[in-house]
Amino acid sequence: MENIQQRGHLLTEQINPNSKNLDQLSTVELVDLFNTEDAQTLKAIAQARVELAQAIDVTSKSLSQGGRLFYVGAGTSGRLGVLDAAECPPTFCTPPDMVQGIIAGGAGALVRSSENLEDRPQDGAEAIAQRQVTEKDVVVGISAGGTTPYVHGALNAAKQRGATTIAMACVPAEQVPMIVDIDIRLLTGPEVLAGSTRLKAGTVTKMALNILSTGVMVKLGKVYGNRMIDVSVTNSKLYDRALRILEELTELSRQESAQLLDRSGKQVKLALLMHWTGVDAEAGQLLLDNHQGNLRAALETSKNP
């Protein structure tokens, strides 16, 4: 037991003075306390704005050149990475392998705690090797306390392979140094329930991942204005959203929008290009391909051939 690392000094493990009487609060007081403490997440994001912007820029550049984005974590951090990766294909019509979540323990750890597996750095390194990570790729290591051996093993292996490495942690760099290309520190302070990083640390991590992945997709041209024009039309809700995007941007009727969407093969971006330029689906797709799927660039070319 003497070899177990002392972690009590870490920001995420410290005692929150505002919640020392947590078990004696009324229910409303308990809710109010959580609400007050969660406000720290907004401040943490603001303080990490420069690093988040850097991460968006390097990741979008890598993905535009055929690279992939990997999130690596254990426990809550791993689940949040897998969640963000899983939501990219339906939201932005990305290939399943473009954004991938890697969690210690694999798929089973998403629904059943496998926290004991986070202590194996060799497993993190092996996960990177299995996915044949290269210098084109970006690997984001997510660890609330910054000490997860699985994450450190993955980041070290990714760095050796020449990949761009990004750390996302909720402790100051001086407490846990991480040798990476971009170091994102999301400092939300001690948890309401001491050491329970599924709380503020988990919330701010979800916020940061939302910003990172959405920012990257904006840079990749998968958004027009604030519309998700690469939405995957796979159910009735998304079909309705696609029709509303077309109705709002083209001023066509709902029936006309449905006909246009059908002619485009249910691709909103292509439908918009077809409507605005008069090209057919085949020519429109070729035009988009020539501009890496960027609708604005394709429209500009059509205006100035």
Q: Catalytic positions, please? A: 87, 118
Contact indicator for 121, 114 with CB cutoff of 8 Å: no
Q: Which residue, 118, 117, 124, is CA-closest to 153?
A: 124
Angle, CA of 125, 68 and 293, to the nearest 5°:
175
* Amino acid residing at 192: V
CA 299 to chain centre: 29
Q: Which residue, 205, 188, 181, is CA-closest to 84?
A: 205
What tokens were used for 131?
Answer: 């996915």
Cα–Cα distance, 95 to 6 (Å, whole number): 42
Cα–Cα distance, 170 to 200 (Å, whole number): 9
